[in-house]
Structure 1
Amino acid sequence: MSAPATTSHGAPSAAPGRSIAAWWQAAPFTLVFALFFLIPLALILMVSFWDFNEYELLPGFTFKNYVSIFEGCSVGLAGGDDLCVTLKTYLSTLKFSFLVWAITLVLGFAVSYFLAFHVRSAGMQTALFVLCTIPFWTSNVIRMISWVPLLGRNGLVNQTLQGIGLVDEPIEWLLFSDFSVTLAFVHLYTMFMIVPIFNSMMRIDRSLLEAASDSGASAWQTLWNVIVPLCKTGIIIGSIFVITIVMGDFVTIGVMGGQQIASIGKIIQVQTSYLQFPLAAANAMILLTVVLMIIWALTRMVDIRKEL
């Protein structure tokens, strides 16, 4: 009887037929990934180095688009002047991303904790979880517009506050402001934080919680030292979802900000509408680089592949 084939290190090698079968199984996903992600991304990168005028795109190779994006930034920083438009816009975008991430993390963790540890019935867990998905039964635009009659100058909130005598005049910052944009983002994307955190909590061995209680740990100590560390994977995945979506969003900021608040996504959308495709592509590549850096930093906190 012949011995199984081994590698140079003495480990058995995979059968050739099995290796070919694995490649065939991965081929459809690889084809879809290349066709709908890698090739479009390569085209955007290529166009970002083209030139353009008022009438047409000019294929070639130039750094003019990238230079124009950061034009005046180095002078402003060196001279102590105000930040350039690009850096201000990125700071504004990062501000919304951080605020929305922090709020959705608190809300998502609280809702997930309640569903996972305080709702005993599996049927009730399912019902409440489905209840959380109800906002997704309508489009984002409808959900955003629904805030306008509530937060507007003559909206329900202002009329109620004036009616009970808490304010004398309508509150202006409730709509078309940083507050309304952040509120809409939280409303739209909290579910993206709930799902992965809830999934992580449901995988926690309940005997660990009993062991912590038997050791004299309080509820807060159990939460911080047992539940939170075991939920790191869900927290990181939810954070990636929320941050990447907010960083590239332009519809929410445009509608809820009254077209008065700038973001990188909004700039790219405006440049595209004016047919400035090379400039928009350059901005998109810079935004992609920033988002990838954020994702890289988040994934350094936990090995997602190992945890999953």
Structure 2
Amino acid sequence: MSSSRRDTVAAWWQAGPFAAVLAFFFVAPLLLIFAVSFWPTSDYELVPGFTGQNYVSIFEGCSHLAEPCVTLKTYASTLGFSLMTWAATLVLGFAIAYFLAFHVRTPAMQTLLFVLCTIPFWTSNVIRMISWVPLLGRNGLVNQGLLGLGLVNEPVEWLLFSPFSVVLAFVHLNTMFMLVPIFNSMMRIDRSLLEAADDAGASGWQTLWNVVVPLSRTGIVIGSIFVITVVMGDFVTVGVMGGQQIASVGKVIQVQTSYLQFPLAAANAVVLLVAVLMIIAALTRMVDLRKEL
């Protein structure tokens, strides 16, 4: 056996276990969900079969252009949460990463500050969400402070169990997913490029926009993928911080599974997966991740 052939066989043996794990835990469940999405919907049992009625039910009424259907409204609400969370986490993540990468000089202090940023991840997501209730509630610290300062005459109702609280919780939970890849991209930037821009007379904002941002594009895209995909499928945050009053695609799927409507939930999951893959495809067109990474 030639050397190149032996190397090829060895590579396949090395990749085989990882491919098997990926196929069993990722590909097979997706195929199962896709198959179940075509089964007839039953109130009490799963009946194998083939029907497109589940997808028809999802988009029922969407042919009327005058009034958007429930599905489109739900997807618009979920996409709105994703975009607002993405914008907020991008600003926060980029600013913190820029400070850590270019203004903190010693690696030890960078490591210390980076670890401090991860402290919220040491607790459960539910605990972190619930921690906002004493702050934003009708009798919470924020309302008490506003009343004490005379800025409002009565408690502000929209601070909790509202779209505002949902987005706030999303930003709290997902900023690290944006910060980490951006910080990694910034640490790979050659500092001589910044010195060259400064020698050429570029201002700080010009250097930021024309040097740092383009070279951080890979991290921005990766962080955007993380944040948007997590928010699009989330249902716990929407349920807790929205007071069970705000709809999202993930919440709809969770309710359908709780009522044992698994084929309909599977169809919704397939539609959500296609929507998320379209968003990811649009983001990855901005940068060649395989080349950059």
1:72 correspondence with 2:61: yes
Residue number in structure 2 paired with 1:36: 25
Greater Cα shift, 287-296 or 54-63: 54-63
The one-letter amino acid paired with 1:51 is P
Matched, 1:171 2:160: no
Name the structure 2 match of 1:237: 222
1:89 aligns with 2:74: yes
TM-score, normalised to structure 1, is 0.94
Distance 1:216 1:236 in 2: 29
Percent identity of the aligned residues? 77
**Structure 1: which 5+ residue stretches go unaligned?**
6-13
Query: More displaced, 280-289 or 26-35?
Result: 26-35
Q: Distance in 2 between matches of 1:152 and 1:138?
A: 21
Contact 2:256/2:265 (8 A) holds in 1: yes
The answer to whether 1:302 aligns with 2:291 is no
Tell me the residue number matched to 2:144.
159
> 4+ runs of 1 displaced by more than 4 Å?
none
Give the alignment partner of residue 204 of structure 1, picking from 189, 196, 205: 189
Give distance in 2, aligned partners of 1:70 and 1:131. 46
Aligned to 2:98: 113
1:10 paired residue number: none
Residue type matched to 2:196 in 1? A
Counterpart of 1:279 (choices 249, 264, 289) is 264
**Structure of higher CA gyration radius:** 1
In the TM superposition, residue 56 of structure 1 has moved relative to its aligned partner by 1.2
Task: Give the secondary-structure state (helix, strand or coil) at the position aligned to 1:58.
Answer: coil
Do residues 26 (structure 1) and 15 (structure 2) align?
A: yes
Which of 49, 72, 75 pairs up with 1:60?
49
2:4 to 5, 15, 18: 15
Equivalent position of 1:130 in the other structure: 115
1:128-184, Cα deviation, whole Å (9 max, x unpaired): 000000000000000000000100001111011101111110000000000000000
Between the aligned partners of 2:135 and 2:177, the Cα distance in structure 1 is 24
- Structure 2, unaligned stretches of length 5 or more? none
Cα distance in 1, alignment partners of residues 179 and 14 from structure 2: 32
Mapped to 1, the partners of 2:243 and 2:44 lie a distance apart of 30
Give 1:276 shift: 0.1
TM-score relative to the length of structure 2? 0.99
Alignment length, in residue pairs? 292
Cα displacement (A) at 1:222: 0.6
Take 1:106 and 1:128, find their aligned partners in 2: how far apart are those partners? 18
5 Å matches for 1:192-231? 192-231=177-216
Q: Residue 249 of structure 2 aligns with which residue?
A: 264
Where relative contact order (Cα < 8 A, 6+ residues apart) is larger, the structure is 2
Residue 17 of structure 2 aligns with an amino acid whose one-letter code is P
Work out whether 1:252 is the aligned partner of 2:237: yes
The one-letter code sitting in structure 2 at the alignment partner of 1:108 is G
**In 1, distance between residues paired with 2:45 and 2:211?**
60
Q: Partner of 1:148 in structure 2?
A: 133
Once the two structures are TM-superposed, the CA of residue 240 in structure 1 deviates from its matched residue by 0.1
Quote how far apart the aligned CAs of 1:299 are. 0.2
Give the conservation status (yes or no) of the 8 Å contact 2:41–2:54. no
The CA RMSD over aligned residues, in Å, is: 0.8
CA distance in 2, matches of 1:303, 1:56: 46
Equivalent-residue separation in structure 2 for 1:130 and 1:220 (angstroms): 28
Instruction: Give SS of 2:154's match.
Output: coil
The structural deviation recorded for 1:302 is 0.4
